[in-house]
Every structure is written in C-alpha cells, then in structure tokens.
C-alpha cells in the first residue's frame, strides 16, 4: 500500500477534545448546557446503534441529551406533537430524528416540523437553501466530516478536480456544494453516468457515496489522487466495508480513508459541533 491513511478516528477525537473544552467554557459563561434530543422510531438495529453512539458522544462532550424511543406503529401526528414540544423546550438546542422512518410517517413533514434553528442534521429546506447560498447555519454532518478530514490532512480542494459519486440529498449533493464552496472544480456522477471511469480517472479528489461494496477500484483512480470513501456496507460475513476497493485503490491513491475508521466517526463529531453551534446561537454567544 502506498497511500497515506486518513485516520478519521484520530481527527474525530481531536475535534471532540476541542468541543469538550469549548462546551465547558460555554457552560461557565452562560450557565446553559447544550442539549440534543434524538428521536428513534421503530426497531431498526443499525439505527439503534447510531442513536446509542450519539447519546454516548453527548455525554462525553458534556452535553445534556435525551433519547426518545417510539414504537414502530407510532402515528405521524404523535411524532409531530413530540417535535413541537422539543421545538419549544429551552433545554434542547438540537433535534435529530433518526432516518429511515416507518412508512406511515411522511419524512418530509417531519423535517419541515423541526425548527431550522434546531435542525442539527441540516435537512430542513431553509438550511439546505442556506448551504446553496454559501450562508449556512449548520452543515450536513457527513459532508462536513469529509471537509474536516481534508483540512486535518492539509488537502486543499481549491483548483482541484473533484468527482463526487452519488447524488443523494444527505451526502452527494451537499458534498458537491461544499467542494464548490472550497473552490474545487466539481463533477457529480451517479447511476446514469455513462463511462464513470473517464471522470474518476481525471479527478484529484474522488468522494464515493454509492452504497455498493468495493465499487470504486484501483483502475478507476488516477495515480496520486485522494479517495474519500463514505460508504458503509455490511458484508455477508458481518464485516463492514466501504464503497472503495481498499486493496487496489490504496496502491494507486496518495491518501485514502479506511472503512471503518474514516468518514464514519466524523459524522457524529460534526453533529456534536452543530449542537454546540445551535446552543451558542440560541444564547447569542457566537
Ligand atoms: P443513496 O442510496 O441515497 O444514494 C446512492 C447514490 O449512488 C445515488 O445518488 C445513485 O445515483 C448513486 N449510484 C448508485 N449506483 C451507481 C453507479 N452504478 N454508478 C454511479 N453512481 C451510482 O445513498 P446515500 O445515503 O448517499 O449513502 C451512500 C453510502 O454512504 C451508503 O453506503 C451509506 O451507508 C453511506 N453513508 C455513510 C455515512 C457515514 O456516516 N459515513 C453517512 C451517510 C451515508
């Protein structure tokens, strides 16, 4: 392997240490403890793990946190009523509803119900629009985590050719915008892209977020490129693997994120950062 390993666990720990110090200072100054409410509907095991990890991270940093676990058959109106209460609760600065939701609940309605000031996932159209305009309140956690990793390793996207593979609302599209904001020349590739390797082979930075194990192979990557692997795929043997074929890509790339231990840990860290920002904004301590 010739690529440098971009260590998301280490970067994440460093940022969490900083957040812990900032949180202590904020509490001392304002008397207010940043608070996050996480809402989980149903019994999806992966979602339950994510929610537990978020709750634990809050405790480590010094936030107040609440987990609301609702049954699978929760009525949409009950969830919306809970969100309305959390919107008005001064102890709560950030609200996160773990997706996906059971099918009787309209995800869009849920996202629209959360106050934009408390929407620490940055999914509300008001926050998405602000990102489009470059005047954001919060950045969506996974793409923000990718940018923080690049910064930690001194990889400046300015003037670089960046290919984002995937165009979802939570990863691909905002990732492309954040790269553009940092002056990269950005191409978004997706399931209808014809001749994907012709794009990826020209890229200085490839961000892959397709949800297919080992999708991006070494022969698709330009020697010396930086590869950021957002994918989290569970293999039949239970192990996790990314969207990049680590063995072949790490022979060609100059730097690569592993899975696990790359982008994954950064997502929760950025959620913590957004929660602290929300609390600071609420206390006008920015
Ligand atoms: P998604 O299914 O919503 O989107 C996948 C995207 O991949 C689509 O836009 C589609 O156009 C594109 N795609 C599919 N097949 C393709 C092909 N053959 N060629 C080119 N593009 C293709 O997924 P998502 O929510 O964006 O997540 C993507 C991956 O990232 C998943 O593995 C998910 O688990 C992971 N993820 C990780 C984190 C994290 O914290 N690290 C957060 C969110 C998502």
Map out the domains of the chain as residue ranges.
31-116, 141-264
Determine whether 273 is an active site residue.
no
Residue count of the chain, please give it.
286
Interval 89-101: pLDDT, tens: 999 999 999 999 9
Under DSSP, the state recorded for 240 is E
Active site residue 245: no
How many helices (H) and strands (E) the chain has is answered by 10, 11
Distance 197 CA to ligand 1 centre (A): 17
Instruction: Name the CATH superfamily housing domain 141-264.
Output: NAD(P)-binding Rossmann-like Domain (3.40.50.720)
Task: Tell me how far CA of residue 14 lies from CA of 145, 151, 233, 248, in angstroms.
Answer: 13, 13, 26, 30
Beta bridge partners of 5: 256
Q: Which residues contact 166 (CB under 8 A, 6 or more apart)?
A: 172, 175, 189, 190, 207, 208, 209, 210, 211, 230
Report the b/e string of 158-186 with b at 16+ CB within 10 A. eebbbbbbbbeebbbbbbbbbbebbebeb
Q: Is the peptide bond before 260 cis (omega within 30 degrees of 0)?
A: yes
**One of 7, 54, 160, 175 is an active-site residue; which one?**
54
Those residues of the chain that have pLDDT short of 50 are none
- Cβ neighbours of 192 (radius 10 Å): 6
pLDDT at 53: 94
31-116 with 141-264: one CATH topology? yes
Catalytic residue list contains 121: yes
Which residue has the CA at smallest separation from atom 12 of ligand 1?
166
Q: Are 249 and 4 in contact (CB under 8 A)?
A: no
Cα(209) to ligand 1 centroid in Å equals 4
Measured between its terminal Cα atoms, the distance across the chain in Å is: 43
Classify residue 270 by burial, with Cβ atoms within 10 Å: 0-12, 13-18, 19+.
Answer: buried
Instruction: State residue 126's pLDDT score.
Output: 97
pLDDT score recorded for residue 28: 98
Element (H, E) at 35: strand 35-41
The reported pLDDT for the residue numbered 284 is 86
Query: What pLDDT sits at residue 285?
Result: 73
pLDDT of 65 reads: 98
94-97 vs 233-234, strand pairing mode: unpaired
Q: What number does the ligand 1 atom closest to the CA of 211 have?
A: 32
For ligand 1, which residues put their CB under 6 angstroms from it? 142, 165-168, 170-172, 189-191, 193, 196, 209-211, 230-233, 243, 263-264, 267
What CATH number was assigned to the domain covering residues 31-116? Answer: 3.40.50.10860
Q: Which atom from ligand 1 is nearest to the alpha carbon of 190?
A: 21
Three-class secondary structure of residue 100 per DSSP: coil
The residue whose CA is least distant from atom 15 of ligand 1 is 191
Residue holding tokens 């509300």?
124
Euclidean distance between CA atoms 206 and 6, whole angstroms: 14
Q: Quote the Cα angle for 106-74-119, to 5°.
A: 50
Which residue has a Cα nearest atom 22 of ligand 1?
191
- Tell if the pTM clears 0.85, that is, is over it: yes
């Amino acid at each position: 392997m010739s690529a440098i390993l971009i260590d998301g666990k280490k970067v994440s720990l460093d940022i969490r240490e900083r957040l812990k110090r900032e949180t202590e200072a904020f509490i001392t100054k304002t008397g207010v403890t940043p608070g996050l409410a996480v809402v989980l509907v149903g019994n999806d095991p992966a979602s339950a793990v994510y929610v537990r990890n978020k709750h634990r991270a809050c405790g480590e940093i010094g936030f107040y946190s609440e987990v609301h676990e609702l049954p699978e058959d929760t009525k949409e109106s009950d969830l919306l009523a809970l969100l309305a209460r959390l919107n008005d609760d001064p102890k709560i600065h950030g609200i996160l509803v773990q997706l996906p939701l059971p099918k009787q609940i309209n995800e869009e309605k849920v996202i629209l119900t959360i106050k934009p000031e408390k929407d620490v996932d940055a999914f509300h159209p008001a926050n998405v629009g602000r990102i489009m305009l470059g005047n954001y309140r919060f950045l969506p956690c996974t793409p923000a985590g990718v940018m923080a990793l690049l910064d930690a390793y001194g990889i400046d996207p300015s003037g670089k050719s960046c290919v984002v593979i995937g165009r979802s609302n939570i990863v691909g599209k905002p990732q492309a915008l954040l790269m553009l904001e940092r002056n990269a020349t950005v191409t978004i590739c997706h399931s209808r892209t014809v001749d994907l390797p012709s794009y990826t082979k020209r890229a200085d930075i490839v961000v892959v977020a397709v949800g297919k194990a080992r999708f991006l192979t070494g022969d698709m990557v330009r020697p010396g490129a930086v590869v950021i692997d957002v994918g989290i795929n569970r293999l039949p043997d239970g192990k996790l693997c990314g969207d990049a074929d680590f063995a072949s890509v790490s022979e060609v790339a100059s730097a690569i994120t592993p899975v696990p231990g790359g982008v994954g840990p950064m997502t929760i860290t950025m959620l913590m950062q957004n929660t602290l920002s929300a609390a600071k904004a609420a206390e006008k301590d920015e």
